[in-house]
Structure 1
Amino acid sequence: MRILSWSALALGLAVGATISAPAHAQAYDPRYPVCMKIYEGGTYGGGGERIDCSFTSLPQCRATASGRAAMCDVNPFYAPPEPPPGYRRRHR
């Protein structure tokens, strides 16, 4: 019976820890077609990366990334603007 109660307690703690963990916001900005992934080193190999999606072209991003530990890529979440409402093509 003790094993069952300890197992239930451990399961409850594990589920509680995963539910209360903070969610990370989406890193990709869908308004821009190009993102730069910046690798940030830390002490003893720690560190991480962050994503900056504020570029309108690959050449613009590559110029900014030049000389840094970074790389540019197409934004997979880019949503191109829709055509203005009321625009129709005439058929002849």
Structure 2
Amino acid sequence: MMLRILALIILAVVIVGKTAPAQAQTYDPAYPVCLQVYQGMVDYYFECRYTSIPQCQASASGRAAQCVVNPYYAKPVPRKKRRASKSHR
């Protein structure tokens, strides 16, 4: 009986160890356009590495995919001009 329980515990550990870890859907904030690639009815992932919709559409051609605007795109922040500071002596 004890051997059977040990075998079941080992089997459970092996099964849990073999399952792939869940990956969070990530959007790369460096690019404004993402390609949403479908692997099944509800299984998909994002490739955020496009600078325009036409560029993304060229990559999506012939694939089960669609181009979407990246909701997490971090627009470049314009640099403020630095004022030359005057030294007072």
Same fold (TM over 0.5): yes
When the two structures are superposed, what TM-score results if normalisation uses the length of structure 2?
0.61
When the two structures are superposed, what TM-score results if normalisation uses the length of structure 1?
0.59
How large is the Cα RMSD of the aligned pairs?
2.4
- Counterpart secondary structure, 1:30: coil
Query: Structure 1 pair 82/69, CA: closer, same or farther in 2 (3 Å)?
Result: same
- Measured against aligned partners, the alpha-carbon deviations of 1:20-50 in whole angstroms (never above 9, x if no partner) come to xx77445111110000000013xxx7x7111
Shift of 1:84: 1.4
- Measured against aligned partners, the alpha-carbon deviations of 1:50-71 in whole angstroms (never above 9, x if no partner) come to 1000000000000000110000
Count how many residue pairs are aligned between Structure 1 and Structure 2: 63
Unaligned runs of 5+ in 2: 1-20, 84-89
- Counterpart secondary structure, 1:61: helix
Which residue matches 2:65?
A: 70
Q: Aligned residues: percent identity?
A: 56
